[in-house]
Chain A
Amino acid sequence: MKFLVCISNVPDTTTKITFTPDNKELNKAGVQFVINPWDEYALTRAIELKEKLGGNVTVLNVGEADTEPNIRKALAIGADDAIRVNAKPTDAYFVAQQIAAAAKEGGYDIILMGKESIDYNGFQVHGMVGELLGIPTVAPAIKLDVEGSTATLEREIEGGKEIVEVATPFVVSCQEPMCEPRIPNMRGIMTARTKPLKVVEPTGEAPRTQVTEYALPPKKQGVKLIPAESAGDLIKLLRNEAKVI
């Protein structure tokens, strides 16, 4: 079975977000970039399934050369080979086209990715890839099992979950608690250096959206502390002052 896992390169989850002085871009100074946490679920589950069923896990990232350390990390965790589409991932449609093009060429059975990236929070790429390839999409999934050419998935819905069966090929976006993400071991790190990483140029149409400006949320006024002994006063404040109850 051939798995394609799409990973994003995102600021570490503890990053305090700031922007360049013109507010057009993230200020990357001092920011550590990691594999998007949601994508780690996709990567780990693909590796687990490969270990069970046999096959191959290819990692794909749309990004410039500075994303390669995280692509190597994915290889160290257990992916077999990687593709980097040499472009800045400007919008979801642009990224989806790159994934769809790679998927067509590679003939993958299951295309996995995280539910969304923690930077742009688009939650869009999975559906776009599915539609571009004319195959089903299951998003977001909390469980994925495969038998033969049929997969059984649990999909999260508001207030519950659905059990869905789909035949390969399909696209799935993953979220916790699908599996326990792995960290690379020394052997993985050593072998990752020699695994193939192919760099290809982007294809397809121009992006359909464009960010003009970033902004931080307005600063809070500061906390109003209520003494613990008169905790009940908080409820009066929430009704009369904040007007939320």
Chain B
Amino acid sequence: MSVLVVVECDNGEVKKSSLEVASYGSQVAQMLGTTATAVAVGEATEANLAALGEQGISKVLYDNDSRLKDFVNGAYTKLIAAAAQQESAQIIVLANSNIGAAVGSRLSVRLQASLATNVVELPKTDGGQFVVKRGAFSGKAFSDVILSGERKIIAVKKNSMEPLHNAGQTATVENFSAQLTDADFSDAPKQVIMQEQAGGILLPEADKVVSGGRGMKGPENWNLIEDLAKALGAATACSKPVSDVDWRPHHEHVGQTGITVSPNLYIACGISGAIQHLAGVNSSKVIVVINKDPEAPFFKAADYGIVGDVFDVLPKLTQAVKELN
């Protein structure tokens, strides 16, 4: 019995969501009286991998094959399956990311494992059952799910776990090779195009988000959103009508059919709060709504609200953040 954690790395760094996943995996290992090993994918530095000890990881397996720098489904799946085999892993934990979902679903068939995605809490193991809580109905509800069978794969929703920081703990980093062949890279991307992210913060990973809706009146006013986001160190986002009319790119659209986010702070500016939008944001820890219409339905879902014109309020907020810093 052991726990294997899949850690995604980018430009040498371990992604924030993977620090959460590592913390989740090491706590599951502790519950089961075993240790947690990580397998790293993407481009990592040894120092950053060793630092996963702070999240409770004892050992990290890393294949430094340069072809693994960008995501390749066939190769990643084979690599993780080989690591799971070597470590006799009964539980595999990964992020509920585009990579985690693509690999986790293939792995579950290959390893005959039961799979739960979008998991928001540590499992319960009372009464001989292994039960996880996951988000369902686009964030409008949760479900408790029994994972049957010996092997289980858990994809952890971003921002649902506070990363552990046991200062000074280090993990041992071991070279690992899954004997990958050219055929494993047949679905390798021909080209990777990174999109510009406001302030360099990835929206799906962000713990603060400033979002604008049609109340912003036009793309030329987005500097107000960007200024506040920059001051707060937040990512920017938008509602569906905004991306539909191309004021903002589609990858910033949050909501039921866009990106689902669960930051600690979500600030909605000029968004009325249609049920489809709420579905994408209502697992945010604190929701702030700024809207001049006091009847906007979003106020019902908000923790803090300002009834006022975004064009007056946003500069005041940005100024207040700057003064605070």
Q: Which residues of A contact B (CB under 8 A)?
A: 11, 13-17, 19, 26, 37-38, 92-93, 96, 118-128, 130-132, 136-140, 142, 155-166, 175-177, 208-217, 220-221, 223-228, 231-239, 242, 244-245
Contacts and interface: CB of A to CB of B under 8 A. Distances in A.
Given A161-B195, A235-B320, A132 B98 contact: no
Interface in B140-162: 140-149
Interface stretch (B60-68, B163-171, B182-190, B215-223): B182-190
A234 B73 CA distance: 45
Interface in B31-82: 70-71, 73-74, 77
A157 to B, nearest CB: 6
A217 B282 contact: yes
Nearest to A14: B275
A92 B114 CA distance: 10
Given A137-B102, A156-B98, A176-B257, A210 B145 contact: yes
Contacts, number: 264
B138 to A, nearest CB: 5
B283 interface: yes
A228 B269 CA distance: 13
Contact of A209 (B115, B192, B312): B115
Residue in A122, A157, A214, A220 with the greatest tally of chain B CB atoms within 10 Å? A157
13 contacts: A131-B106, A131-B110, A132-B109, A158-B15, A158-B98, A159-B197, A161-B192, A176-B250, A209-B147, A212-B146, A214-B136, A234-B306, A235-B317
A8 B98 CA distance: 21
Interface of B: 15, 70-71, 73-74, 77, 96-99, 101-106, 108-110, 113-118, 131, 134-149, 186-195, 197, 202, 204-205, 208, 232, 250-251, 253, 256-258, 264-265, 274-276, 279, 282-283, 285-286, 288-289, 299-309, 312-313, 316-317, 319-321, 323-324
